Amino acid sequence: MIYASYSRLGFIHWLQGHLLPCPFKYLTGIDCPGCGFQRSVMALIQGDFQKSLLLYPAAIPLILFFLYGVADVIFKLDTDKAVVKKTVFMINGSIVLISYVIKMCHLYNHVAY
């Protein structure tokens, strides 16, 4: 039991050291709309839902959307012109856009002072 939790922590530590860098942020110095997703997923893996939501609010809905898409391919859940997928896609896009605008406003408010 102790070895299993140690190996899990070792894997999480390894993942944290191998996150993909953001090319947009590297080139511009500004976060992209996806910045924070990987750290948010890492917080979810560690069981810290509050930290995950603070890092990237759209992470959980995006993961659920992906899982629904996989289930839809396997079980053909959304046959009526993909209404559910389109609706959830629009909701996820709105969450990403709104959280990005809030992040940028917050960033620029701190820079102005």
Q: What is the pLDDT at residue 12? A: 85
Residue 49 lies in a domain: yes
In a domain, 12, yes or no: no
Q: Is 59 part of a structural domain of the chain?
A: yes
**pLDDT at residue 7, as a whole number:** 65
Domain assignment of residue 26, yes or no? yes
Query: For residue 55, what are the domain limits?
Result: 21-112
The 3-state secondary structure of the chain reads: CHHHHHHHHHHHHHHHHCCCCCHHHHHHCCCCCCCCHHHHHHHHHCCCHHHHHHHCCCHHHHHHHHHHHHHHHHHCCCCCCCHHHHHHHHHHHHHHHHHHHHHHHHHHHHHHC
**pLDDT computed for residue 27 by the predictor:** 96
pLDDT at 6: 56
Please give the average pLDDT of every successive group of 10 residues along the chain, which has 113 residues: 62 89 94 95 94 96 94 85 88 96 84 54
Q: How many domains does the chain have?
A: 1
- 88 lies in some domain: yes
Residue 52: CB atoms within 10 A of its CB come to 23
